[in-house]
Structure 1
């Protein structure tokens, strides 16, 4: 199955944040990602399941890498631990840094515009915590 046959996955919004995330997947430092459950619900999308594969797109909308989900959990933010935070590959030292960055993103202008309101984010806010593995590089042959 090629990139074109897979559902796409876009990290954050196009630009530096997405580029850093894609680079972290490609260099192996990012093996986890987190989404706000409310975004899935608002978009009418099902929460993904372990075993599903996605084509991760770069900021230009081109396939960069194929990943396969190995674990998916819907949990309150307070259940995310330091190990998961570090697996996000963004240089978080601990869950406190992870949480601050995710609260800021979840309350960002882009997310608020998509939802039509600024979400309330706290300990009990449900997030989709996903762990994945890389199964194929992009067509350029990058690892």
Structure 2
């Protein structure tokens, strides 16, 4: 048997500030029509943070999302894992809850709602995360 190592198809680890998945753009150099690579800044989308109930509710309702919890995560009669149930996403079985109960748990745990309004391509984003604020 021949156990020679085949050349790797993986790209080497990129230098800092470079992306393996997003190649740099090519432009033609007017001096010899040779391609040169131009580093363009990545498209960034701001992640917003709020505790405002109206902002959270409006964001969720604009996307058709309803407040929910993970069944079995409750303890001592209190909600466990807080989630939003988005239409068309059937990956997890969620139990619907009312806004008042959802926000009561949100406030009791002093959570922050991190979210994005749009993706880098301009389409509506469903990105959200509930986090405890950093200790001060």
Structure with larger Rg: 2
Instruction: Indicate the TM-score class for this superposition, using the shorter chain for normalisation.
Output: under 0.3
Structure 2 length as normaliser, TM-score?
0.23
Q: Which has the higher helix share?
A: 1
Q: Which has the higher strand share?
A: 1
Structure 1 length as normaliser, TM-score?
0.23
Which one has more relative contact order, counting CA pairs under 8 Å at least 6 apart? 1
